[in-house]
A = this chain, B = another copy of it.
Amino acid sequence: MSGKTTIYDIAKALNITAATVSRALNNNPKISQSTRKLVLETANKMNYKQNKLALALRSGKSNNVGVIVPRINTNFFASVIRGIEEGLHPEGYQVIICQTHEDEDREVENVNTLLNAQVDGIFMSISNLPKENNHYIERVIQKNIPLIFFDRKKEMKNVSSVTIDDYLASYQTTQHLIEQGCKKIAYFSGDRSLEIYEDRYRGYEQALLDNNIPINEDYIISIKSNVVEGRDAVEKLLALENPPNAIFSTSDFAALGAIQKLKEHGIKIPEDFCVFGFGNEPFTKFMELSISTIDQSPLEMGKMAAQVFLDKINNKKSESKVILSPKLLIRQSSTRIS
Interface residues of A, Cβ cutoff 8 Å to B: 2-3, 49, 52-54, 56-57, 62, 64, 66, 71-75, 78-79, 81-82, 85, 89, 94-99, 101, 106, 109-110, 112-114, 116-118, 139, 142, 227, 256, 260, 282-283, 286-289
Contacts of A112 in B (CB 8 A): 52
Q: A49-B139, A66-B96, A81-B99 are in contact. List 20 more A-B contacts (CB 8 A).
A: A52-B112, A53-B57, A53-B116, A56-B116, A62-B116, A62-B117, A64-B113, A72-B81, A73-B73, A73-B74, A73-B79, A73-B82, A85-B99, A96-B98, A97-B97, A97-B98, A97-B99, A227-B286, A260-B286, A287-B288
A109–B81 contact, CB under 8 A?
A: no
Contacts of A53 in B (CB 8 A): 53, 57, 116-118
Give me 22 A-to-B residue pairs in the complex whose CB atoms sit less than 8 angstroms apart, sorted by A's number.
Answer: A2-B142, A54-B57, A62-B116, A62-B117, A66-B96, A72-B72, A72-B97, A73-B74, A73-B75, A73-B82, A85-B99, A94-B110, A94-B113, A96-B98, A96-B114, A97-B97, A97-B98, A117-B117, A256-B286, A282-B283, A283-B286, A288-B288
A117–B96 contact, CB under 8 A?
A: yes
B95–A98 contact, CB under 8 A?
A: yes
A96–B94 contact, CB under 8 A?
A: no
Within the complex, the shortest CB–CB distance from A127 to chain B, in Å, comes to 15
4 cross-chain pairs, A with B, having the tightest CB-CB distances, nearest first: A73-B78, A117-B117, A97-B97, A94-B113
Measured in the bound complex, the distance between the Cα atoms of B115 and A54 in whole Å is 12
Within the complex, the shortest CB–CB distance from A323 to chain B, in Å, comes to 25
In the complex, which residue of chain B has the Cβ closest to the Cβ of A94? B113
Asked whether A116 and B52 contact (CB < 8 A) given A95-B98, A98-B97, the answer is yes
A64–B97 contact, CB under 8 A?
A: no
Within the complex, the shortest CB–CB distance from A322 to chain B, in Å, comes to 23
Within the complex, the shortest CB–CB distance from A69 to chain B, in Å, comes to 9
Contacts of A78 in B (CB 8 A): 71-73
Measured in the bound complex, the distance between the Cα atoms of B2 and A139 in whole Å is 11
Contacts of A3 in B (CB 8 A): 142
Contacts of A117 in B (CB 8 A): 53, 62, 64, 96, 117-118
B109–A98 contact, CB under 8 A?
A: no
Contacts of A256 in B (CB 8 A): 286
Within the complex, the shortest CB–CB distance from A96 to chain B, in Å, comes to 5
Contacts of A94 in B (CB 8 A): 98, 109-110, 113
Within the complex, the shortest CB–CB distance from A87 to chain B, in Å, comes to 14
In the complex, which residue of chain B has the Cβ closest to the Cβ of A75? B73
Measured in the bound complex, the distance between the Cα atoms of B97 and A249 in whole Å is 30
Within the complex, the shortest CB–CB distance from A257 to chain B, in Å, comes to 9
Within the complex, the shortest CB–CB distance from A303 to chain B, in Å, comes to 15
In the complex, which residue of chain B has the Cβ closest to the Cβ of A116? B52
